[in-house]
Structure 1
Amino acid sequence: MSLFAWLRPSPPRLDEQLRQRVQQLTAPAPLAEHSLRQQRWVVLDLETSGLNLNRDHVLSIGAVVIEDGAIDFRQQFERTLHQRDHKLTSSVLIHGLGPSAIAAGCDPAQALLELMDFIGDSPLLAFHAPFDQRMLSRALKDHLGYRLQHPFFDVAELAPLLNPQITLREAGLDDWTAYFNLEAAERHNASADALVTAELALILFSQARRQQLDSPALLDQQLHRLRRRRQQSHGF
């Protein structure tokens, strides 16, 4: 056995039913040219045991759907994940998920499979999306052997792109929700954070339409241009 094969983590052991369901998951659709209003979006938020992308794990998942230009309250997803080796850390002061809540949580493989069923072929929105994307990708790989390929849009990146006149340096979710007079029912709760992120996204989509960026593909192209300009300005 080669050294690289020894270092590579072994795939998770799934029963036949789970394995078949993973194989039947819907692949992500290409980013469309149609209106933002016509696109089904899944807005996601994760609560985690910490901020270390390699060591910490997902504790809870909240997601809501934007469809037909509005939040569809009939389509909501919420799960707390059971973590066998979860250790109590200071992060519990932020998300409030203590040992009893984690012990009573769902089987991670089942919860993640249900999440991907819920997402379907839709693109994802999150605030500070790269973190959620990396944490979710690792959880899916560890528990299901599944490679996440769905596109993520970062609401923290969209907001300054569409509001260049606003000088909120390194603004967080609280800063943008306060600016647009939105109210979060509860912070650092995955479902509540997903909901207020969806409300913010709807405001941004309305601004995007007025700026002639009225499709997921156009919005993605504009974000890529913004990243290239940033790289050039930093001399990369």
Structure 2
Amino acid sequence: MFGSLTKKWNRKHLTDERFTFLFEEDSGGEVVVFDCETTGLDPKKDGIVSIGAVRIKENRILTDEAMHIYVKQEKQISHESITIHQIRHCDLENAVPIEEAIEEFLYFIGGRTLAGYYLEFDVAMINKYIKPMYGITLPNKQEEVSAIYYDKKISTIPQGNIDLGFETIIEDLALPKLQAHDALNDAVMTAMIYLKLKHTKSLRRT
């Protein structure tokens, strides 16, 4: 009930009727897995450098319909950030303004459920922009893959000392590893984790 009231309150504050579809829950059972590469880890002061997203439909990752967009930067990207995602300011010459990137992202996700690793952070980064732009925060249902992994794993490790690192999860599930800290690659790997966990009753002890 609380969630329903929050969604209604959120919908009431939508300032652009083009995006009413965000509040219409997807009936096709699709899930969107997304990831953001950013200039840092503080949503209040850092910005989005790139967004990668893929849809999952009927247990298939639709990589041929993926979204991968780079965002123009008003400030120089710090050396610390570049060492993580390897995106330099000069690599963003053909990037788009953040407003255009956010709009494209919203049309891509629609009312679908969102999934991700460290999803709370990525959602906070998106909300940072859509709140002043459209008066709302993302109303979509959300699923955190590390939480799903924990629930599947806890029965094999009663003491609860579970490593929730991204690489650890990838290795434990015997999934292929793509180049990390690339928004689209991270989204694809997270989608593989999501599907593997959805079709696994319990995980083996490691």
Query: Are 1:133 and 1:152, in contact at CA under 8 Å, matched by a contact in 2?
Result: no
Distance 2:40 2:66 in 1: 25
Distance 2:59 2:128 in 1: 31
Distance 1:82 1:168 in 2: 41
Distance 1:56 1:131 in 2: 11
Query: Following TM superposition, by how much is the alpha carbon of 1:140 offset from its aligned partner in structure 2, in angstroms?
Result: 2.1
Is residue 38 of structure 2 the alignment partner of residue 48 of structure 1? yes
Distance 2:152 2:122 in 1: 22
Aligned length: 185
| TM-score normalized with structure 1 length | 0.71
Note the 1:1-236 alignment, pairs <5 A. Answer: 22-25=16-19, 26-30=21-25, 39-164=29-154, 165-166=156-157, 169-207=162-200, 210=201
Distance 1:106 1:184 in 2: 29
> What is the DSSP-based 3-state SS (H/G/I as helix, E as strand, rest coil) of the residue aligned with 1:44?
strand
Query: Are 2:150 and 2:162, in contact at CA under 8 Å, matched by a contact in 1?
Result: no
Give the equivalent residue in structure 2 for 1:230. none
Distance 1:103 1:142 in 2: 26
What is the aligned-residue identity percentage?
23
> What is the DSSP-based 3-state SS (H/G/I as helix, E as strand, rest coil) of the residue aligned with 2:199?
helix
Question: What whole-Å deviation, never above 9, does each CA across 1:179-234 have from its counterpart, x for those lacking one?
Answer: 11112221000000000100010011112xx48xxxxxxxxxxxxxxxxxxxxxxx
CA RMSD of aligned residues (A): 2.3
In structure 1, the gaps of 5 or more residues are 1-19, 33-37, 212-236
Distance 1:85 1:142 in 2: 20
| TM-score normalized with structure 2 length | 0.81
Distance 2:31 2:126 in 1: 17
> What is the DSSP-based 3-state SS (H/G/I as helix, E as strand, rest coil) of the residue aligned with 2:23?
coil
